[in-house]
């Protein structure tokens, strides 16, 4: 009896959490008329693909281009985040007592606490002064910094026994060699976790992209979706189709790497 209640409760909650995905998928493939007639249908009357034709071009930019922006910006910022955060966190862990490093760590933590949407406002001014407004470079640079990434690397580097690094130093290896030949090979699992989590987080980013962009040419999928959703005379089916395109890649990545995503996010949070 108790078992049935427990299963029932967990099943019901899961259904409620998953139903929006089913509804979004159905909305993308059903005509507006069918949806208005039966909003709760569980299967499309017919597979209607016209929504995907309708989103082939978004504000004068092709869906392919927007998707490529999403992929390019996300992958580039992820790679950059790994290199920059790993070497930064490594330096800060090896020399934790340096005043400059303690200030840097404190400054970084404060930055991460500042409301991102309000930080982006002055970032616009900074981008303007650096001449990075309207380009993808500014977006990639801005997205390369995040707290979860830093904490995961920092936590891992702290667990490396001092003897390992001492042994390499005695062998005459330079610090750079130690980092690349000794430490990073040990860190492969952390690099993978950080990479996947950064991909998921940055794929979803929209506000910095919107603010730093000056034309729809540098929009990513979430920004294009927001734009489409805000247009007058909304095409409901097209909105759902674009929502499906936006949701699908991270959903696949997550399902393939669920353990390291959930474990890594929890670990990064517990540390912070």
Partner 1 sequence: MFYGLALPFAALTILFGLWPILLSIQVSFTQSATALRASPTYVGLANYHTVLADPVFLASLAHTLEYTLLAVVVNVGLALAYALLLDSPYLARGRAFFKLAVFLPVVTPDVAGYVVWRWLYDQSFGAVNAALKGLGLPLFGGIAAPQTAMLAVLLAELWHHCGFYVVIFLANLAVCERALSEAAAIDGAGPWQRLRYVILPQLRPAIAINTIYALIQFLKTFSVVVVMTKGGPADATNFVSYYAWQLFDTAQYGQATAMATLLFGIVLVVSLLAYQGAERGRA
- Among positions 3-62, residues that touch partner 1 (CB under 8 A) are 3, 5-7, 9-11, 13-14, 17-21, 23-24, 27, 35-36, 39-40
Nearer to partner 1 (CB atom), residue 65 or residue 249: 249
When the beta carbons of 141 and 152 are compared against partner 1, the nearer one is 141
Q: Which is nearer to partner 1, 65 or 169 (CB)?
A: 169
Contact between 204 and partner 1 (CB under 8 A)?
yes
Nearer to partner 1, 49 or 102 (CB): 102
Rounded to the nearest whole angstrom, what is the least distance from the CB of residue 57 to partner 1 in the complex?
19
The minimum distance between CB 218 and partner 1, in angstroms, equals 16
Sole window of 51-59, 60-68, 161-169, 223-231 interacting with partner 1 (rule: CB under 8 A): 223-231
Closest separation in Å from C-beta 160 to partner 1: 15
Selected binder of partner 1 within 34, 45, 48, 175 (CB under 8 A): 175
The distance of closest approach from Cβ of residue 217 to partner 1 in the complex, given in angstroms and rounded to an integer, is 19
Restricted to residues 69-128, the positions that interact with partner 1 (CB under 8 A) are 83-85, 87-92, 94-95, 98, 100-101, 104, 107-108, 110-119, 121-123, 125-126
DSSP secondary structure string, the chain? -HHHHHHHHHHHHHHHHHHHHHHHHHHHHS-HHHHHH-TT-SS-SS---HHHHHTSEETTEEHHHHHHHHHHHHHHHHHHHHHHHHHHHHHHHHSTT-HHHHHHHHHHHHHHHS-HHHHHHHHHHHHHHHT-TTSHHHHHHHHT--HHHHHHHHHHHHHS-HHHHHHHHHTT--HHHIIIIIIHHHTHHHHHHHHHHHHHHHHH--HHHHHH-SSGGG--HHHHHHHHHHSSS--HHHHHHHHHHHHHHHHHHHHHTHHHHHHHHHHHHHH-
State in angstroms the smallest separation of the CB of 243 from partner 1.
5
CB 64, min distance to partner 1, A: 19
Distance CA 199, CA 213 (A): 20
């Amino acid at each position: 009896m108790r078992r049935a209640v427990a299963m029932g409760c967990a099943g019901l909650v899961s259904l409620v959490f998953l139903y929006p995905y089913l509804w979004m998928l159905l909305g993308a493939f059903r005509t507006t008329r069918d949806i208005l007639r039966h909003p709760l249908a569980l299967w499309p009357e017919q597979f209607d693909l016209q929504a995907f034709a309708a989103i082939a071009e978004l504000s004068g930019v092709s869906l392919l281009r927007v998707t490529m922006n999403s992929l390019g910006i996300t992958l580039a910022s992820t790679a950059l985040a790994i290199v920059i955060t790993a070497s930064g966190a490594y330096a800060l862990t090896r020399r934790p007592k340096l005043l400059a490093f303690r200030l840097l760590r404190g400054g970084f933590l404060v930055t991460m606490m500042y409301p991102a949407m309000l930080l982006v406002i002055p970032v616009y001014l900074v981008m303007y002064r650096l001449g990075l407004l309207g380009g993808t470079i500014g977006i990639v640079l801005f997205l390369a910094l995040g707290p979860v990434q830093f904490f995961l690397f920092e936590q891992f580097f702290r667990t490396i026994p001092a003897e390992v690094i001492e042994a390499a130093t005695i062998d005459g290896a330079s610090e750079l060699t130690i980092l690349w030949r000794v430490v990073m090979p040990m860190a492969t699992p952390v690099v993978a976790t950080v990479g996947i989590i950064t991909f998921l987080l940055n794929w979803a980013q929209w506000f910095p992209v919107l603010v730093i962009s000056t034309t729809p040419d540098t929009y990513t999928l979430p920004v294009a979706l927001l734009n489409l959703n805000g247009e007058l005379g909304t095409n409901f089916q097209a909105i759902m189709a674009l929502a499906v395109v936006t949701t699908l890649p991270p959903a696949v990545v997550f399902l393939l790497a669920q353990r390291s995503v959930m474990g890594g996010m929890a670990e990064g949070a517990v540390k912070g």
